[in-house]
């Protein structure tokens, strides 16, 4: 087995795993790879990576094993049959999934003599190997510290969130809940613009300015929310209710899909019904803290 600081194994060669293996090659590492579809290793092998003939041999090659699979179910598909080959391995799991899946997988790894570092990587393949990119990690601190230099090849910055293996996945999902919803709001704006004869390019600057204004709101409301204060001194939910209904009707009038603005208006309506009309719309956080009965 090779030294953990000089060599790694990468299992899973989708766009992300390929970029990771390439980054390790760029840094002079000896890289062993394995992928269900072996042909996806061709370019890496041409650059000097070793394609292991089996998962067992990929695991035997190195202490540090980077996993970049679609989800944790794929990990079980790949690793469950290997049984004893996991003993002594550090599984750096950069596959995305839920915090609960990450915790269960960490326990599963320990039962097989391995240890998991959960990773939450928030950049696309082009950001892999870049010094400015960052990845969330959680799991045993001493394992993270020992292998930090290896992790810094994947992204130049590492953001260790704590021992709980679910934390890195949680931070990843916190970003994703905002990413998907925000991008969907952008698609909605483009659909509305197009229904009015405008192209995406015509609203790009306005969309960018709107998005850039959000961090100021994040900071302003974070302090108040943590203090449990939803004062209606700057905005009132009743005002927001009227505004989101304007948004809903603007979309309906244009004949575009109203699923998203309807869902937004429904949440505001629930806040109104719960008696928050005179409070800030940040009071919706209290509503969102538990699932609707």
Q: Name the site residues for ligand NDP (rule: CB under 6 A).
A: 12-17, 35-37, 40, 68-71, 74, 77-78, 95-96, 121, 124-125
Nearer to ligand NDP, 74 or 248 (CB): 74
Find the shortest distance in angstroms from Cβ 15 to ligand NDP.
4
Nearer to ligand NDP, 172 or 281 (CB): 172
Find the shortest distance in angstroms from Cβ 247 to ligand NDP.
30
Find the shortest distance in angstroms from Cβ 276 to ligand NDP.
36
* CA separation for the pair 27, 24 (Å, rounded): 5
Find the shortest distance in angstroms from Cβ 9 to ligand NDP.
14
Find the shortest distance in angstroms from Cβ 261 to ligand NDP.
28
The maximal CA–CA distance of the chain, rounded, in angstroms, is: 66
Find the shortest distance in angstroms from Cβ 246 to ligand NDP.
35
Find the shortest distance in angstroms from Cβ 17 to ligand NDP.
5
SS3 per-residue string spanning the chain: CECCCCEEEEECCCHHHHHHHHHHHHCCCEEEEECCCHHHHHHHHHCCCEECCCHHHHHHHECEEEECCCCHHHHHHHHHHHHHHHCCCEEEECCCCCHHHHHHHHHHHHHCCCEEEEEEECCCHHHCCCCCCEEEEECCHHHHHHCHHHHHHHCCEEEEEECCCHHHHHHHHHHHHHHHHHHHHHHHHHHHHHHCCCCHHHHHHHHHHHHHHHHHHHHHHHHHHHCCCCCCCCCCHHHHHHHHHHHHHHHHHHCCCCHHHHHHHHHHHHHHHCCCCCCCHHHHHHHHCCCCC
Find the shortest distance in angstroms from Cβ 176 to ligand NDP.
9
Nearer to ligand NDP, 154 or 264 (CB): 154
Nearer to ligand NDP, 68 or 251 (CB): 68
Give CA separation, 263 vs 266, 267, 288, 290, in Å.
Answer: 5, 6, 13, 17
Nearer to ligand NDP, 37 or 131 (CB): 37
Nearer to ligand NDP, 37 or 212 (CB): 37
Give residue number: closest CB to ligand NDP.
14
Nearer to ligand NDP, 65 or 69 (CB): 69
Nearer to ligand NDP, 96 or 138 (CB): 96
């Amino acid at each position: 087995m090779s030294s953990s600081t000089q060599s790694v194994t990468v299992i899973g060669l989708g766009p992300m795993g390929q970029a990771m293996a390439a980054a390790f090659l760029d840094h002079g590492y000896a890289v062993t790879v394995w992928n269900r579809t072996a042909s996806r290793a061709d370019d890496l092998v041409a650059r000097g990576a070793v394609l292991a003939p089996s998962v067992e041999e990929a695991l035997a090659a190195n202490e540090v094993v980077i996993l970049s699979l679609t989800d944790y179910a794929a990990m079980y598909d790949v690793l469950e049959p290997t049984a004893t080959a996991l003993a002594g391995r550090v599984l750096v799991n950069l596959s995305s999934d839920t915090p609960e899946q990450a915790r269960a997988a960490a326990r599963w790894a320990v039962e097989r003599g391995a240890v998991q570092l959960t990773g939450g990587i928030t950049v696309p393949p082009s950001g892999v190997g870049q010094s400015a990119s960052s990845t969330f990690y959680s799991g045993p601190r001493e394992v993270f510290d020992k292998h930090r230099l290896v992790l810094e090849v994947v992204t130049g910055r590492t953001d260790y969130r704590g021992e709980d293996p679910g934390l890195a996945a949680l931070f990843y999902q916190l970003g994703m809940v905002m990413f998907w919803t925000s991008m969907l709001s952008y698609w909605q704006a483009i659909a509305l613009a197009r229904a009015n004869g405008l192209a995406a390019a015509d609203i790009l600057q306005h969309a960018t300015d709107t998005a850039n204004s959000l961090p100021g709101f994040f900071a302003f409301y974070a302090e108040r929310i943590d203090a449990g204060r939803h004062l209606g001194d700057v905005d009132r939910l009743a005002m927001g209710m009227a505004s989101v209904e304007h948004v809903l009707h603007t979309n309906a009038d244009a004949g575009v899909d109203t699923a998203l603005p309807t869902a937004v208006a429904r949440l505001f309506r629930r806040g109104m019904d719960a008696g928050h009309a005179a409070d800030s719309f940040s009071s919706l956080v209290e509503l969102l803290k538990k699932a609707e009965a």
